[in-house]
Structure 1
Amino acid sequence: MYIRVLEKEDAALYQELRLMGLQQCPEAFGSDYDREVRFSRETVIERLQPVDDQQATVGAFGEDGRLWGIAAAIRMGTVKERHKADVCRVFVHPEVRGGGAARQLMTELIRLAQGWTGVEQLRLAVNAANEPARRLYMALGFQVYGTERESLKWNGVYYDEELMVLRLVKA
């Protein structure tokens, strides 16, 4: 696998994998398939456009050029929150889970965020029942700072999310 920042030419590959994630793991995302399947190509491209010190989406590609995993980081927009960036849209195709793609994606996001002027921390929310993801994030240095009970509700079932942070600079 190789990891790189996604660009507009990757929009179709990205959208296919993103929609798969929303269908297969609806409890893992705040968004849903019915919403995002209606996104125009322009909307998807806008999401992918890397913006210096603001946002980036990375992809894990196989040697055959197939996109196997995605993850994004988006910097907070307000003056008082610009020291934070949120990790979101993380999904790895089930066929390659456990092979290190998620770790590689997250390592690259952390590296990119460390280069963003003024960003001091990365935050994320993870389904509290998703033990593999929780273990990975903790192994990368993320720490739980809270739990949002019943954070998501899908098909009548509530899901708790653990809120995690990785400090990029010492406070």
Structure 2
Amino acid sequence: MNIRILKESDAHLYQEVRLNALKINPEAFGSTYEREVGFSLETVKERIKPIRDKYIVGAFDNRKSLVGIVAFIRENNLKTRHKGNVFGMYIAPGNRGQGLGKSLMNELISRAKNSDGLEQINLTVVSDNHSAKKLYKSLGFEVYGTERNALKYNGHYFDEDLMVLTLAVDQSCL
């Protein structure tokens, strides 16, 4: 496996994986296949273009196929800049259960830790997605709340657990 930050030249591969994610696990994402299928390649390139506080980590198999993705976006507001967020975690079905999600998250966390002043990483996960919650807990994330009916898809509601990984606490603020 090769794990690295995606760049604009990966846009086509990313779009293919992202659309598959939205088709296969629609309940797990805030967006929909119907919304994103119309995105132009230029839109996708702009979306995945890595910058200091926003990037997508991708996992490529031995055939150079993109088989896993996860996004990180740091808050940019003065009062929330100490936080970053994880979005869009997805592993293609044939590649699940092999530690790939953990490798992707470890790369994301390692990179995020190098962001000056970043103190915590937040994420949300559908409450009954036990395998994802187990992964996040193994990395040190803790549930701090649950949003009831956070997502609604095809007439069904899905609760989301809110999770946080504390990287550091600014002692001067205590």
Q: Same fold (TM over 0.5)?
A: yes
1:64 Cα offset (Å):
1.1
TM-score after normalising by structure 2: 0.96
Aligned to 1:155: 154
1:107 Cα offset (Å):
0.4
Tell me, yes or no, if structure 1 residue 16 matches structure 2 residue 16. Answer: yes
1:49 Cα offset (Å):
1.1
Q: Equivalences for 1:30-49 in 2 at 5 Å?
A: 30-49=30-49
Q: What is the DSSP-based 3-state SS (H/G/I as helix, E as strand, rest coil) of the residue aligned with 2:133?
A: helix
Q: What is the DSSP-based 3-state SS (H/G/I as helix, E as strand, rest coil) of the residue aligned with 1:35?
A: helix
Aligned to 1:107: 106
Q: What is the DSSP-based 3-state SS (H/G/I as helix, E as strand, rest coil) of the residue aligned with 1:103?
A: helix
* Aligned equivalents of 2:102, 2:169: Cα separation in 1: 23
Superposed CA RMSD: 0.8
Unaligned runs of 5+ in 1: none
Aligned to 1:123: 122
* Aligned equivalents of 1:62, 1:26: Cα separation in 2: 24
Q: Deviations over 1:63-107 (max 9, x none)?
A: 110110000100112111111111001100000100111001000
* Aligned equivalents of 1:40, 1:75: Cα separation in 2: 25
Q: What is the DSSP-based 3-state SS (H/G/I as helix, E as strand, rest coil) of the residue aligned with 1:161?
A: strand
* Aligned equivalents of 1:141, 1:100: Cα separation in 2: 16
Identity across the alignment (%):
51
2:43 aligned partner, one-letter code: T
* Aligned equivalents of 1:109, 1:24: Cα separation in 2: 24
1:71 aligned partner, one-letter code: V
2:155 aligned partner, one-letter code: G
Unaligned runs of 5+ in 2: none
Q: Deviations over 1:7-64 (max 9, x none)?
A: 0110000000000000110100001111111111121111211111x11101011111
Aligned to 2:5: 5
Aligned length: 170
Aligned to 2:51: 51
